[in-house]
Amino acid sequence: MSAAKSATASRHVVTDWNPEDEASWDSRLAWRTLAISTYSMILAFCVWFLVSAIAPKLASIGFHLTKGQLYWLTAMPGLSGGIIRLVYMFLPPVIGTRRMVAWSSLLYIIPMFGWFFAVQNPNTDYGVLLALAIACGIGGGTFSGYMPSTGYFFPKRLSGTALGIQAGIGNLGMSVIQLVGPVLMTFGLFGITWIAPQHTSGGDLWVHNAAIFFVPWSILAAVLAFVYLKDVPVKANFREQIDIFGNPNTWLMTLLYVMTFGLFSGFSAQFGLLINNTYGATSRFAGMEGLPAGATYAFLGPLIASIVRVAWGPLCDRFGGAIWTFVSGVGVAGTLVWAALFLDPSGPDQFPGFLWAMLAFFFFSGIGNAGTFKQMPMIMPKRQAGGAIGFTAAIASFGPFFVGVALSSMAASTWFWICAVYAAVCAVICWIQYARPRAPFPG
Per-residue pLDDT for the chain (443 aa), expressed as one digit of tens each?
333 333 344 678 887 778 888 878 888 888 999 999 999 999 999 999 898 888 878 877 778 888 788 888 888 898 898 899 888 888 887 888 899 999 999 999 999 999 888 888 888 999 999 999 999 999 988 988 888 788 788 887 887 788 878 888 887 888 888 888 888 777 766 666 656 666 666 666 677 778 888 999 999 999 999 999 988 776 665 566 677 788 888 999 999 999 998 999 889 878 888 998 899 888 888 888 888 888 788 888 888 988 898 888 888 888 888 999 999 999 999 999 999 999 999 889 999 999 999 999 999 999 998 898 788 878 877 667 777 877 888 888 788 888 888 988 899 999 999 999 999 999 999 999 999 998 888 87
Which amino acid is it at 80? S
Q: Is residue 4 part of a domain?
A: no
Same domain, 250 and 310: yes
Give the pLDDT score at 4: 37
Q: Is residue 1 part of a domain?
A: no
Read out DSSP for 287-317? T-TT---HHHHTTHHHHHHHHHHHHHHHHHH
Give the pLDDT score at 416: 96
Which amino acid is it at 298? A
Q: Is residue 113 part of a domain?
A: yes
The H or E element that residue 101 is part of is helix 97-107
Distance of alpha carbon 104 from the chain centroid: 15
Same domain, 390 and 433: yes
Same domain, 147 and 95: yes
Give the pLDDT score at 6: 35
Among 215, 236, 257, the domain-final residue is: 236
Same domain, 230 and 245: no
Same domain, 293 and 166: no
Indicate left, alpha or beta for 62 from its phi (over 0: left) and psi (-120 to 50: alpha): left
Give the pLDDT score at 107: 96
Give the pLDDT score at 206: 74
Same domain, 301 and 371: yes
Task: State which residues form the domain around 218.
Answer: 26-236
Residue pair 74/273 in contact (Cβ under 8 Å)? The answer is yes
Using DSSP, state whether 430 is helix, strand or coil: helix
User: In sequence order, what are the beta bridge partners of 13?
Assistant: 231
Give the pLDDT score at 168: 81
Same domain, 365 and 437: yes
Same domain, 132 and 179: yes
CATH number for position 210: 1.20.1250.20
Using DSSP, state whether 406 is helix, strand or coil: helix
The domain total for the chain is: 2
29 contact partners, CB below 8 Å, separation of at least 6 = 14, 153, 230
Q: Is the pTM of this model over 0.85?
A: no
Q: How many residues are given for the chain?
A: 443
287 contact partners, CB below 8 Å, separation of at least 6 = none
Q: Is residue 336 part of a domain?
A: yes
Give the pLDDT score at 5: 36
